[in-house]
Chain A
Amino acid sequence: MASVQYREIDGRSGGFYVLVATLGIFIAAGLGAAWTMEHQGHHITGMSNRIVWGTPHVFAVFLIVAASGALNVASIASVFGRELYKPLARLSGLLAVTLLAGGLAVLVLDLGRPERLIVAMTHYNFKSIFAWNIFLYTGFFAVVALYLWTMFERRMNRHTKPAGLVAFVWRLVLTTGTGSIFGFLVAREPYASALLAPLFIIMSFSFGLAIFVLVLMAACRWTGRALGDVVLKRLRTLLGVFVAAVLYFVAIHHLTNLYIARQHDVERFFLWEGGVYTALFWLGQVLVGGVVPLALLFGTSSRRALAAAGVCVILGGLAQLYVLIIGGQAYPQLMFPEKEVASSFFDGVVAAYAPSLPEVALGVGGVALALVLTMLGLKLLPFLPHSLADAAAAKA
């Protein structure tokens, strides 16, 4: 461990500034979208009284889930003592913080009254999972910051393991909380399942690692740092296992529903006749987010294939959350079994929704914010090892 040399990235190249400026434009667009939504009201978005959580929530939940998953590489190093992962632990912690910041920014800016954030910080209903999450999210920043400090400060190195353990447990609870936002919703048939908490945890492993791998590969490539095959091979296998585990949990969720007569209509909607949601489920979530990455990860060994698999996992993950969050609301709530239902409030029909430009801009702005914060972190502090060549990895 002591032999690993960390170094800030230069961050003075034209490419660095072009990338920061480009991401800055996306952040500005996101802020502009939030400002417009706040002033005009949410009627300018695709959201309605039937789809109250739209595209911003897909991005926000994706980033928040990925944030806790990005910390896994550090956990494997400190909690499970795998030396090979230790040089990657700092970047893992950095991504955990920046992705969470991006996700929370989107979530807060989409509120009907974002200026009342202070109310959310001063009035608590402790039966609300949202209220728990306010503590879990802010606490996560503090815990990971402390964890990073034990990694950066040589005198604190001996505390890295307990700090890592706290962060690991915290992230498991945090993702349980995020999954339970939906899992505890008894009134909606597509949710209301304890399975959503562990599903979200395994999704976080997968999405977070995919982002970690892509950021690591890009950072090493663009700063001319060596990145050995040994490290990448481990990450490749790990990502493959996580992708397969997500598919397993998704399969169990649907199989359980298929067995329960009351849930048959829900399954018919998502798996068969749900239009865009069915297409996104099979083509986006299962094919692009599951089958293709598995083939790329286990069928080939090229770096390009690994990067492509990472991109596929991210796209599939967004599709999965779109199906879950928006499809779950579009499916009509069951109030009158065995009846056809109609009303002026769109009861009994699949609610219409199409993502609007402000929503997409806000969501993408959150991603851009997370990436810019990561770049600034890499420039300001030595998060990245000088070399991750196989020889260096072996020494570590």
Chain B
Amino acid sequence: MNPERRHLLGWGAAAAMGAALAPGLRLIELAQARSPEEAASALQRWGLLIDITKCGECDACVTACHEENGVVSNGRPATDAQWIRKVSLRDKRTGYAQTLPLMCQHCEHPPCVDVCPTGASFKRDDGIVLVDKHTCIGCRYCVMACPYGARSFIHEAVSGQKADVPRGKGTVESCTLCVHRVDRGETPACVEACNKDGGKAMAFGDLNDRDSAIHKRLRTEPSSQIRADLALNTGVRYQGL
């Protein structure tokens, strides 16, 4: 067989192989994407990375979250729900000041889920911690158990609810990581607002996906968890803390 012919055959075989494998590869790709009807999968672990060195004195994330989820104030700060809040820190010795957004940390081992008597507090396979508003009896044990003070008990009737975000008096709620947006392939409202109007401090992504920007940064840059001593493996990570 002359070399030219051999070469041609080689290319032909490669092309045939490619044609045979391509649909399969495409199938893998399709299998990894998720249709709205499909259940959440443990292949993903949604999370946030917040660089607090870029977080300034703004509350774009808070405003956007509460707007997105229909969380309104009744003018009673002690009992009003807050899904996300800005926390100011000041070092006791040096006076070094910082500020950061704090919300549900979407733990891998969430204490709120452990203590919930009815299972209303639950974690989706993709790591998002939620409250089932139909089975929450309003015992508030999850509020007692949360290390981050992330949960709010709904102390009075709610109005102006968003279609995607059911809420109800007498139940407990917290940040859903904008699960309704995530399921549509969008990013949480806080992240979007921070990148648009804020300090571009917040990033959202799949902590399991080695190719995601968030995974790459977590792999190559230092980051920390709040109350890492509790070994809860939080889905929300911080930089500059």
A binding-site residues for B, Cβ under 8 Å: 38, 40-43, 47-50, 52-53, 111-114, 116-117, 119-120, 123-125, 127-131, 134, 181, 184-188, 329, 333, 335-336, 338-347, 352
Pick the contact of A338: B91, B141, B149 (CB < 8 A).
B91
CA distance A187 to B227 in the complex (A): 9
| B58 close to A (CB within 8 Å) | no
Given contacts A41-B155, A48-B79, A345-B82, contact A117 B92 (CB under 8 A): no
Q: Could you tell me if B170 and A49 are in contact, using CB atoms closer than 8 angstroms?
A: no
Other than A49-B79, A112-B171, give 5 A-B pairs with Cβ distance below 8 A.
A41-B156, A42-B79, A49-B143, A116-B137, A125-B116
B90–A112 touching, CB < 8 Å:
no
B residues at A contact (CB < 8 Å): 74, 76-82, 85-93, 102, 111, 113-120, 135-141, 143-149, 151-157, 169-172, 226-227, 230
Decide if B148 touches A41 in the complex (CB within 8 Å). Answer: no
B171 touches A340 (CB 8 A): no
Please indicate the chain A residues that have their CB under 8 angstroms from the CB of B87 in the complex. 336, 341-343, 347
B140 with A112: CB separation less than 8 A: yes
Are B154 and A41 within 8 A (Cβ)? yes
The CA of A187 and the CA of B136, in the complex, are separated in Å by: 21
Q: Which of B74, B86, B136, B152 contacts A49 (CB 8 A)?
A: B152
Given A43-B156, A52-B143, A329-B144, A38 and B170 touching (CB < 8 A)? yes
Given contact pairs A48-B78, A53-B144, A112-B139, A128 touches B154 in the complex (Cβ within 8 A): no
Contact of A125 (CB < 8 Å), options: B119, B148, B153: B119
Q: Let me know if B154 and A112 touch, CB within 8 A.
A: yes
Q: Is the CB of B86 within 8 A of A128?
A: no
Cβ A124 vs Cβ B169 within 8 A: no
**Can you show 17 pairs from A to B with CB atoms below 8 A apart?**
A41-B169, A42-B153, A42-B170, A49-B82, A50-B149, A111-B138, A113-B137, A123-B120, A125-B113, A185-B115, A187-B146, A335-B148, A339-B90, A346-B78, A347-B85, A347-B149, A352-B78
Inter-chain CA distance A163–B163, complex, in Å, is 55
A130 to B113, CA, bound (A): 12
Q: Is the CB of B117 within 8 A of A343?
A: no
Contacts of B172 in A (CB 8 A): 112
Known interface pairs A41-B169, A111-B138; A186-B154 also in contact (CB < 8 Å): no
Q: Which residue of B lies closest to A43 (CB)?
A: B155
Bound Cα distance A41, B76 (Å) = 13
Chain A nearest Cβ from B229, distance in angstroms: 9
User: Inside 8 A of B155's CB, which chain A residues have their CB?
Assistant: 41-43, 47-49
Residue numbers in A under 8 Å from B152 (CB-CB): 49
Cα A42 to Cα B172 with chains together (Å): 12
CB distance from B183 to the nearest CB of A (A): 24
Asked if residues A41 and B170 are in contact (CB atoms below 8 Å), the reply is yes
Beyond A43-B155, A336-B226, whether A344 also contacts B82 by CB under 8 A is: yes
Query: Which residue of A119, A187, A352 is within 8 Å of B147 (Cβ)?
Result: A187
Q: Whole-angstrom distance between the alpha carbons of A117 and B80 in the complex?
A: 25
Inside 8 A of B119's CB, which chain A residues have their CB? 123-125
B76 contact from A43, A50, A130, Cβ within 8 A? A43
The interface residues of chain A lying within 8 Å CB-to-CB of B114 are 127-128
Give the top 10 A-B pairs by smallest Cβ distance, nearest first. A112-B138, A112-B170, A187-B147, A41-B156, A130-B117, A43-B155, A48-B78, A52-B140, A125-B119, A123-B118
- Measured between alpha carbons, how far is A357 from B234 in the docked complex, in Å? 40
**Contact A345/B149 with A112-B154, A125-B119 known, Cβ cut-off 8 Å:** yes
B95 → chain A closest CB, angstroms: 9
B140 & A53 in contact (Cβ 8 Å cutoff) = yes
A134 and B86 contacting across the interface, CB-CB below 8 Å = no
Q: Chain A's nearest CB lies how many Å from the CB of B122?
A: 9
Q: Do residues B78 and A131 form an inter-chain contact, with CB atoms below 8 A?
A: no
Measured in the bound complex, the distance between the Cα atoms of B240 and A53 in whole Å is 35
Query: Which residues of chain B have C-beta atoms less than 8 A from A134's C-beta?
Result: 117
CA A358 to CA B157, docked complex, whole Å: 18
Does the CB pair A129–B140 fall under 8 Å?
no
Closest chain-B Cβ to A46's Cβ sits at a distance in Å of 9
Closest chain-A Cβ to B41's Cβ sits at a distance in Å of 22
Of the candidates A119, A181, A343, A347, which one forms a contact with B118 in the assembled complex, judged by CB atoms under 8 Å apart? A119
Query: How far is it, in angstroms, between the C-alpha of A83 and the C-alpha of B207 when the chains are bound?
Result: 67
Q: Which residues of B contact A335 (CB under 8 A)?
A: 102, 147-149, 226-227
Nearest-CB residue, chain B, relative to A181: B141
Closest-CB distance, A189 to chain B (whole angstroms)? 10
Given contacts A127-B114, A339-B89, A343-B85, contact A112 B147 (CB under 8 A): no
Beyond A187-B230, A338-B93, is A124–B145 a contact (Cβ under 8 Å)?
Answer: no
Minimum CB–CB distance from A380 to chain B (whole Å) comes to 33
Of B74, B144, B170, the contact of A113 (CB 8 Å cutoff): B170
Query: In the complex, what residue of chain A is closest to B157 when comparing beta carbons?
Result: A41
Minimal beta-carbon separation of B99 from chain A (angstroms): 9
Cβ B92 vs Cβ A112 within 8 A:
no
Q: How far is the CB of A126 from chain B (nearest CB, A)?
A: 9
Q: How far is the CA of A29 from the CA of B144 in the complex (A)?
A: 28
Chain A residues near B141: list those with CB within 8 A.
128, 130, 181
A188 to B147: give the CA distance in the assembly, Å.
7
Report yes or no: B156 in contact with A119, Cβ–Cβ below 8 A. no
Which residues in B have their C-beta under 8 angstroms from that of A123? 118-120, 135
Q: Which residue of A lies closest to B119 (CB)?
A: A125
When the two chains form their complex, are residues B137 and A120 in contact, meaning their CB atoms are under 8 A apart? yes
Which residue of A40, A188, A339, A347 is within 8 Å of B91 (Cβ)? A339
Contact of B117 with A124 in the complex, beta carbons under 8 Å: yes
Distance of A250 Cα from B148 Cα, bound (Å): 28
